[in-house]
Amino acid sequence: MMDKLRSSGLRITAARLAVLSAISEKGQHRDAETIAVAAREKLGSLSTQAVYDNLNALAEAGLVRRIQPSGRAALYETRVGDNHHHLICRICGNAEDVDCAVGKMPCLEPVTNHGYMIDEAEVIYWGVCPHCQSG
């Protein structure tokens, strides 16, 4: 993770490191609030604005991927570059990774591209997770 940050050309600051490691340590998909709490545990204090600024910079540099489920807080993850999709629980908001539906990134090749140069396909499957089904 440190190497990736170095080669990204982003300036390495204590805040940036804390935010990045908060995402990778706390698991798959975390919202900014959860990331902020974990980063503050490391740094002592960090403003919410600084958390968002760092998340934006990391996302722009391609180190972090942001997914924005409609009606919910954006989620951040460090699994980038494979165009995987997500399964999200309508009740608790838990998110799971789902690999591309068939083969290697076929979703980037729709039947009709209308002349667009496509670089990302964002697919969210909505449902109810096993935990919420049993509750």
**Contact residues for Zn ion, defined by CB under 5 A:** 77, 89, 91-92, 94, 97, 129, 132
Dist CA 16 CA 19 (whole Å): 5
Could you tell me which residues come within 8 angstroms of residue 34 by beta carbon, excluding any fewer than 6 positions away? 22, 26
- Measured from the CB atom, is 121 or 132 closer to Zn ion? 132
Please list the alpha-helical segments (H only) found in the chain.
2-7, 14-25, 32-43, 48-60, 130-134
- Measured from the CB atom, is 43 or 124 closer to Zn ion? 124
- Measured from the CB atom, is 89 or 124 closer to Zn ion? 89
- Measured from the CB atom, is 27 or 106 closer to Zn ion? 27
Calculate helix-pair angle for 14-25, 48-60, nearest 10 degrees.
Answer: 80
Dist CA 104 CA 50 (whole Å): 36
CB of 79 to Zn ion, least distance (A): 5
What are the CA-CA distances from residue 51 to residues 71, 79, 84, 121 (Å)? 21, 19, 25, 26
- Measured from the CB atom, is 115 or 135 closer to Zn ion? 135
